[in-house]
Structure 1
Amino acid sequence: MFYPIQRYGEPKYILNLAKKLLLPYLIFQGLYTVLYFLLGREEWYKGILHPQWAMRFLVSLFCWHILLVLFKRIPAAASILLAVFIGIAAGYVDLSAYGLSLSRTLVFFPFFLAGYFMTKENVQLIKTKALSIAGIIFMTALFAFIYLFINVDVTLDTDWLSGAVAYQRLEAEMSGGLMRLIIYILAALLIISMIALIPSGDFGWLTKIGEKTLYVYLLHGFIIQPFREFEILWYNHWYETFWFVLLSALGVIVLSSRPAVALTRPLVELKWKK
């Protein structure tokens, strides 16, 4: 999708990046604005600098590649630590008024940066039986803790994970930095656990689906948002999670299918044919 790593920062690379990310952003920003208008949302228009729902990812991804021009010049450990420090510090300032998903871009940049620096050798060191077992234990314990002690229905709790809200609005102006650091550590451990558990190799049609994740990401809002607006789906009991998993899997299969990709390729990749 992008030019080789060594060409980061060159004018041609930046122009290609803008074509791959910013043009689809403008297109889908307009489409989601129309969708919200048709759904009767009061705040259906946000302007070009304030991404509609999931569109923030395209803006952040573009910004991360630009930031990488500077951060890749710093040794990996120091670079990631600096990004974590910036992500923690960002919470002490309300960046919501600046648009372009600035807060989320800074908060989640360490994960993008870690992915850039990670090598195949690093992955092989993680993919061991011991870490797989440890990962299962850790994820089970974390799930139990969240289920027993975290009220996921309270916005104040879930906003900690969005990266978009300043500590002051989360009623943690002093302790917010420590909370975000803990979240960083837990998220890193979850990622390591998942890498340890994911099998290696080509899995046929599942691998093909993985190649079309951008389509799923950009298009799934046209299903989710009407469902939310008209309260077609609801969640009352824990076992109803299985229905959501099945529906999500079905949505992924449909939106990554050959007909869906062929129909929407002009919007996503700005191409009429593969």
Structure 2
Amino acid sequence: MQRLAFFDNAKVFFIFLVVFGHLIQPMQGDLISVDALYQWIYIFHIPGFVLMSGYFAKGRSDQSFLVKMMKKLLLPFLLFQVLYSIVPILINTDPWYVALYKPHWSLWFLLSLFCWHLLLIAFKHLSPIKGLMIAFSIGLGIGLVPFIGHEFSISRTFVFFPFFLMGYWMDQTLITYLKEMKFKVVAVLILTILFVVSLVMPVIPDELLFGSASYSAMGIESIGIIARLSLYALAILMVFSVLTLIPTKNYQITAMGPYTLYVYLLHGVIIQFVRELGLLRMNENLDVLALAIIAGAIVMFLSSRYVLIFTQPIIEMNTVWAQKWLKTRSQQQMNYRNHQST
């Protein structure tokens, strides 16, 4: 139970950072605290979320599993790609434009996740060290391809695949080892120092943090590999520092862990409306706390039972939650009638 609680707590924390990061993204350059937080979060939150996905990967390669992955990942990608194209039209009367080869906003993750499962078919047969060395080498080398970019999420697929593979090979023994108090102290120091560095030098290009562009497109051809290698090192250091501090007990939020994909897919619709309508503004550094509370509320709302009931047919292509709800309602009505008759 502790093992399950730990990983669900970690998934909830990382999805909170995804939502929070997207909330503060338009406000970069306005406040020092936002610039520092944004860089600090984006160094590790995508790698952490990918690592969690790798941990829960099955790694099967039979036809039924691949068909299941297509239904679970590619169909929602197509549906939400259209949905994200509709939102700007409803708000700003922008022209209709859907480019399936260029994922909207956060939808790149679905394409990449499907590709990571495919890559895992080959990489799971390699030793962990050999596989990770190859994966990191490809992640570094893909930036040398001048035309690599957002299309089909190819760049991000290879840039973040090492973290997926790392999660696949990770076991509870490592987590138990990291839970020793001496590592917790070190983890707090690492995260604090890197936040202070981000506060003083929020200079890492967004495209480098996103893993979505070539070195030439970012104008760092001469230092691209070194820059990405340094970012890899920082990300690994911060991800495992965060995991060291994640609690292993069950809390109310722990139950939201299995439904982070719902939050990931649906939060974009909310934030797009918020951005387009200009509903959120920050005037001082403490306003960041208000946005953190809003991000937490979004995560809780999108993990709620009623959201799951109405969106599961789209996201998972089944109605398990609706059937449970109808069964519960039917039982309650039957109990009520029995009570009235007595």
Fold match, TM over 0.5? yes
Distance 1:6 1:179 in 2: 32
Give the match's secondary structure for 2:222. Answer: coil
Corresponding residue of 1:265: 312
Structure in which a larger fraction of residues adopt helix: 2
Is 184-193 or 222-231 further displaced after alignment? Answer: 222-231
Corresponding residue of 1:67: 119
2:273 to 194, 203, 226: 226
Distance 1:268 1:237 in 2: 38
Displacement of 1:40 after TM fit? Answer: 3.0
Displacement of 1:237 after TM fit? Answer: 3.1
Corresponding residue of 1:176: 224
Distance 1:121 1:97 in 2: 37
Displacement of 1:239 after TM fit? Answer: 1.9
Residues 263 and 303, structure 2, Cα contact 8 Å, conserved in 1: yes
2:247 to 199, 217, 221: 199
- Which sections of structure 1, spanning at least 5 residues, go unmatched? none
Displacement of 1:5 after TM fit? Answer: 6.6
Distance 2:214 2:59 in 1: 35
Deviations 1:91-118 (A, max 9, x none): 1113446721110111011111100000
1:23 paired with 2:71, answer no
Distance 1:65 1:209 in 2: 24
Distance 1:259 1:5, change over 3 A: closer
Distance 1:28 1:214, change over 3 A: same
Is 94-103 or 106-115 further displaced after alignment? Answer: 94-103
Displacement of 1:158 after TM fit? Answer: 2.0
Aligned amino acid, residue 297 of structure 2 = L
Deviations 1:40-89 (A, max 9, x none): 37576242121111111111100000000011111101111111111111
Residues 95 and 102, structure 1, Cα contact 8 Å, conserved in 2: no
Distance 1:182 1:235, change over 3 A: farther
Is 190-199 or 89-98 further displaced after alignment? Answer: 89-98
Is 192-201 or 4-13 further displaced after alignment? Answer: 4-13
Corresponding residue of 2:289: 242
Distance 1:212 1:98 in 2: 26
Give the match's secondary structure for 1:47. Answer: coil
Corresponding residue of 2:205: 157
Corresponding residue of 1:108: 160
Distance 1:79 1:202 in 2: 34
Residues 95 and 103, structure 1, Cα contact 8 Å, conserved in 2: no
Corresponding residue of 2:84: 32
Say how many residue pairs are matched: 268
Aligned amino acid, residue 206 of structure 2 = T
Displacement of 1:37 after TM fit? Answer: 2.4
Deviations 1:227-262 (A, max 9, x none): 112221123433221011000001111111111111
Corresponding residue of 1:118: 170
Displacement of 1:202 after TM fit? Answer: 2.1
Aligned amino acid, residue 219 of structure 1 = L
Residues 101 and 151, structure 2, Cα contact 8 Å, conserved in 1: yes
Distance 1:272 1:28 in 2: 19
Distance 1:41 1:171 in 2: 35
Corresponding residue of 1:80: 132
Aligned amino acid, residue 226 of structure 2 = L
Distance 1:101 1:257 in 2: 30
Is 104-113 or 38-47 further displaced after alignment? Answer: 38-47
Residues 265 and 272, structure 1, Cα contact 8 Å, conserved in 2: yes
2:263 to 189, 212, 216: 216
Give the match's secondary structure for 1:220. Answer: helix
RMSD: 2.1
What is the TM-score when the length of structure 2 is the normalising length?
Answer: 0.74
Distance 2:96 2:172 in 1: 44
Distance 1:59 1:273 in 2: 25
* Structure 1 ranges of 4+ moved more than 6 A: 4-7
From the CA coordinates, give the structure whose radius of gyration is larger: 2
